[in-house]
Amino acid sequence: MDAEPLRSPAARWSGLSLPQPVWLILFALAIGLTSGLNGVEVVHAFSNGFGRILGDFALVLLPSFVLAACMARQKLDGADRIAAAISPMTAAGMVCPDTSYATLASVADRRKLSVAFGSGAGYRLLFPAGPLIVATGLGVNSPALFLTGLLLLVPVWLAGEVWSRYRTPADNAPGSRTTPFSRAVLRPLLPLGVLGVLLLIGSVTDLSAFPWANFLTRPKGALIIAAALALFDTQPQSRRECLDAAMRRTASLLLVIGAASAFGTMLSNTLPLKQMLAPLASSVGMLVVLFAVTMVFKLIHGASTATFATVTPVLAPLMAGADISPVAAVFAICLGSFAILPTDSFYWLVRSDALAGRGESSAVATLAGGAALQSLVGLTALYLLVMAGLA
């Protein structure tokens, strides 16, 4: 009989390459069982944690992804300056910096790095993207989120613009594109404009006496209106495809969110998190903790949306008793997700296009350096807003 062939360690362990939700579920069950709970108590605690925030996320993610799928089918055309100017709004509406960059890069010419850093900033600081996803995970519902995101976007976007101009090669002369500005350039952004107007009305007006108006000027209602407008402006034969794509993205993320929520619930029930983090319970200390933990998750996961879906249920228990405003907590997490390394698909998208002629070390320095600058500028601005009582 022939001897069994030797297998490499990678081959022996390849069977343990499990999807992230499976690991989270196994860890949650292991924590519950090792903490002394019996089988019935473990299942009860897991069920409560798994379904705790799924309803809120379903109302946020499904219309967001419908809006994203419809916008991805629109032709966003224009000169390079227009592409750079609308990149934050485009990324927020598409709920994805990758899709925003891929859509605008073809007309961005020498402003591709500006589009990249603008897309990253818009996705993480503007509705209906990062802030709404994070706020839903933390159970935060404040009209100040929309305006705070706009305030933070200005310095963060400016930092990215300065960095992109500094890192753009000197010999990258302006191209020959002279596409004029027209209404057609902005038409695909109409749903985002309606979304912004509704959120602005909701943030400055008390409409609690009018249930329908109150719902439609809150994030979930405004998102449904914006998604409906985008779907109406999509070719009829493509509408079902947009809905199916949104359903697939929503279903997969809801599984991750449920597993992460169960893991966070088990963790908070078994570990004295409040006592462990008491020395860091001040506003500054907690800002740094939320920022740093999110950055670690982002470097591991790569994808920003998956990071938000995973980290918020885990960090939510830390908020209880912490001396920090919920709005500041939301944006500390958003800013922690700016980190860009080769583990991120966005890195390779921009690397292969805007930085195709650069060496690997130069590309890492450009993208990682710019993201680090944006995140630190944003964290400083957030701290100033907290000190001024504006966040």
pLDDT tens for each residue of 182-236: 566 667 678 878 887 887 888 778 888 888 988 888 878 888 998 899 899 888 8
Tokens (6 digits) for 375: 């995140």
Q: Is residue 9 part of a domain?
A: no
Is the distance from CB of 88 to CB of 119 less than 8 angstroms?
yes
Q: What is the pLDDT of residues 221-247, one digit of tens each?
A: 888 998 899 899 888 888 999 999 889
pTM greater than the 0.75 cutoff: no
For 356-364, the CB contacts below 8 A with 24+ separation are: 357/169
Q: Please report the pLDDT score of residue 280 as a whole number.
A: 54
Q: Is residue 136 part of a domain?
A: yes
Please name the residues in contact with 376: beta carbons below 8 A apart, sequence gap of 6 or more: none
Q: How many domains does the chain have?
A: 1
Burial class, 97, CB count within 10 angstroms (exposed 0-12 / middle 13-18 / buried 19+): buried
Number of CB atoms found within 10 A of residue 46's CB: 23
Q: Please report the pLDDT score of residue 271 as a whole number.
A: 63
Q: Between helices 304-315 and 326-336, what is the axis angle to 10°?
A: 140
Q: Please report the pLDDT score of residue 178 as a whole number.
A: 46
The radius of gyration of the chain's CA atoms, rounded to the nearest angstrom, is 22
Q: Is residue 381 part of a domain?
A: yes
Q: Please report the pLDDT score of residue 339 as a whole number.
A: 87
Q: What is the pLDDT of residues 332-367, one digit of tens each?
A: 999 999 988 887 778 887 888 888 878 888 888 999
Q: Is residue 11 part of a domain?
A: no
High-pLDDT (> 70) share of the chain, % = 83
Higher pLDDT among residues 300 and 220, named by residue: 220
Q: Is residue 280 part of a domain?
A: yes
Q: Is the pLDDT of residue 314 over 80?
A: no
Number of CB atoms found within 10 A of residue 51's CB: 12
Q: Is residue 124 part of a domain?
A: yes
Q: Please report the pLDDT score of residue 333 as a whole number.
A: 93
Domain region containing 201: 20-169+179-387
Weakest mean pLDDT among 11-15, 82-86, 387-391: 11-15
Q: Please report the pLDDT score of residue 50 as a whole number.
A: 82
Q: Is the pLDDT of residue 1 over 50?
A: no
Which among 331, 338, 334, 330 is positioned nearest to 373, based on CA atoms? 338
In one letter, which amino acid is 215? F
Q: Please report the pLDDT score of residue 153 as a whole number.
A: 95
Report which listed range, 15-24, 64-73, 222-231, 308-317, is most confident.
222-231
Tokens (6 digits) for 361: 């070390």
The confidence band for 10, taking pLDDT boundaries of 50, 70 and 90, is very low
Sequential DSSP letters for 258-322: HHHHHHHHHHHHHS-HHHHTGGG-SHHHHHHHHHHHHHHHHHHH--HHHHHHHHHHHHGGGGTT-
